[in-house]
Structure 1
Amino acid sequence: MKPAYKALHTDQELFAAAVTQAKVDVIMSMNSIFSIVVNSGGSIEKFTPEAVKINGGFYFRDRFEFRAKI
């Protein structure tokens, strides 16, 4: 079974999600087994090489994973 999301890693993937107003989850991995959803279902408002802004909050790209619902 395929996952119901796509992990967004590149600038092109983040840009496509921002333009299409895709719902994006922000995930923080605790270890190889556990992850926490920090922000669920927001749209990307802005992104830089260092951070992504979703629902008014900034999340560092090297500390969080961004997943678009498909």
Structure 2
Amino acid sequence: MNHTYRLLKDDMDFFAAALSQVRVSVWHVLEDREHIIDYGGPVEAYSVVSIKIMGRRYFRNVFEFRLTLSKG
């Protein structure tokens, strides 16, 4: 499957996203569907438990974090 986004999973992914100040979106993914929770923004902080984006914290084990890839 060809995705137009990159899934952020480990600390290095979040560190790189925080340094480059790219927009990271937050998704809730179930077996049969997915929907966006927050269109996101830059990663402000991260820990083993949560990711802070635009002043809100999202649990890493509940949500999926995506970096949209440019098409050029």
TM-score by length of 1: 0.91
State the Cα distance separating 1:2 from its structure 2 match.
2.7
Alignment of 1:50 with 2:49, yes or no, is yes
Aligned to 2:21: 21
Cα distance, 1:22 vs structure 2: 1.1
Q: Judge conservation of contact 2:27–2:38 (CA < 8 Å) in 1.
A: yes
Q: Which amino acid aligns with 1:45?
A: E
> Match for residue 62 of structure 2?
63
Q: Distance in 2 between matches of 1:56 and 1:36?
A: 20
Asked if structure 1 preserves the Cα contact closer than 8 Å seen for 2:40 and 2:53, the reply is: no
d(CA) in 2 for partners of 1:64 and 1:19?
Answer: 21
Amino acid at match of 1:69: T
Structure 1 spans left out of the alignment, 5+ residues: none
| Runs of 5+ unmatched residues, structure 2 | none
Distance (Å, rounded) in 2 between the aligned partners of 1:28 and 1:12: 22
Letter in 2 for 1:65: E
The secondary structure found in structure 1 opposite 2:61 is coil
RMSD: 1.2
Structure 2 letter corresponding to 1:14: F
1:69 is displaced (CA, Å) by 1.0
Q: Does 1:38 align with 2:37?
A: yes
CA distance in 2, matches of 1:48, 1:16: 14
